[in-house]
């Protein structure tokens, strides 16, 4: 049985206003710099987190700006662990069909590309819903591992 070591932890809480995506992006850039992440790792985090948070704001809170989006970024052993928590509408990732990226553009359906991107950019993506605690998204990215 191994132990995990959290060497750094950073937290941010913002309202569910889409304008706060810029605040989140600045936060992630600063955290990535403090953790010594390279350009590709920083880009992967930025893209995945931006997609996740914009989905929370647009879908979980249905555009309301009075919700809260809570982010926690931790350096755990050789991974960066991102947790995004909200109290919006429950989210079931299985309800969103994954895109057929091999289909011609004119035959593709709208939706699902953001989830696909998150899953490709990160090493793991996991959703949980608890009626009392809300939606919890946990994404993990191993440091030093090439992205896509």
> pLDDT digit string (tens) for 75-117?
998 999 999 999 999 987 777 665 556 656 555 555 557 888 8
Say what the pTM is: 0.85
User: DSSP string of 3-22?
Assistant: ---EEEEEEEEEES-GGGHH
pLDDT digits (tens, 9 = 90+) for 129-146: 998 899 999 999 998 766
d(CA 120, CA 125): 9
d(CA 7, CA 18): 31
């Amino acid at each position: 049985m191994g132990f995990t070591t959290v060497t750094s932890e950073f937290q941010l809480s913002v309202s569910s206003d889409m304008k706060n995506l810029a605040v989140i992006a600045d936060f992630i850039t600063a955290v990535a710099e403090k953790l010594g992440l390279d350009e590709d790792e920083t880009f992967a985090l930025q893209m995945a987190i931006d997609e996740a948070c914009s989905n929370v704001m647009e879908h979980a809170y249905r555009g309301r700006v009075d919700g809260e989006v809570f982010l926690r970024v931790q350096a755990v052993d050789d991974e960066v662990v991102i947790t995004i928590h909200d109290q919006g509408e429950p989210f079931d990732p299985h309800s969103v069909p994954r895109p057929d990226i091999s289909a011609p553009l004119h035959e593709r359906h709208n939706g699902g590309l953001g989830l696909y991107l998150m899953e490709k950019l990160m090493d793991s993506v996991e959703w949980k819903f608890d009626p009392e605690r809300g939606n919890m998204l946990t994404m993990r990215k191993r440091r030093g591992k090439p992205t896509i």
